Amino acid sequence: MFKKFDEKESVSGVLQLKSSVQKSIRAKLLEAYPYLENYIDNILPKKDPLRIIKCHDHIEIIVNSAGELLFFRQREGQWMPTLKLLHKYPFFLPMLQVDKGAIRFVLSGANIMCPGLTSPGAKMMDVPKDTVVAIMAEGKQHALAIGRTTLSTEDIAKVNKGVGVENCHYLNDGLWQMKPVK
């Protein structure tokens, strides 16, 4: 999604959000990520004006008043946290861990294959299909990518072929390198 993302070329506009829209976004985020409930006021303060950055390929990014990039989505899909936000609050997404052999592929934007999630260095939490997950790496402390499961973890273990997680945002992609928007 953000492989060829360039801040100067990809951003088409910035919109100030109405408070009613902000409330609905907060509600959707709390519904999708219940572990954020105690922290949502730190991430999205009620009095803080939020903005949405509109980008090419129907990508939208939520930005707070300080310009921090918080959540993104594509084509009215589910809001996903940016990696910078996930590194601050690492507990609110289910985690899937890939083995050491998969790290370089994940960091180049490749989708996560089922064998990389079922091999000896890998670990999986039970999650259904279409769940937003943090991709961890064997021996590493922080998440290296955020993705959406294409199969349930039960099916990933059974099938053990093909794409298990669609890589949406990874370290050093265009979104990671984007500067805060003032």
* 29 compared with 3, residue with greater pLDDT: 29
Mapped onto helix, strand or coil, the DSSP state of residue 134 is strand
Is pLDDT of 1 > 70? no
Taking residues 10-16, report their average pLDDT: 86
- Quote the CA–CA distance of 128 and 126 in Å, as a whole number: 7
Q: How far is CA 75 from CA 56, 90, 129, in A?
A: 11, 26, 19
The pLDDT, as a whole number, for residue 96 is 94
Beta strand segments in the chain, E: 11-16, 51-55, 59-63, 69-74, 80-81, 95-98, 112-113, 123-124, 132-137, 145-149, 163-170
Per residue in 97-122, pLDDT (tens digit) is 998 889 999 999 999 999 989 999 89
The CA distance from 8 to 5, in Å, is 9
Give the pLDDT score at 87.
Answer: 94
pLDDT tens figures, 36-94: 989 999 998 888 889 999 988 889 999 988 889 999 998 888 999 999 999 999 888 99
- For 147-173, the pLDDT digits (tens) are 999 999 999 999 999 999 999 999 998
Report how far residue 7's alpha carbon sits from residue 1's, in angstroms, rounded to the nearest whole number. Answer: 13
Instruction: Read off the tokens for 7.
Output: 């801040």
Confidence of residue 181 (pLDDT cuts 50, 70, 90): confident
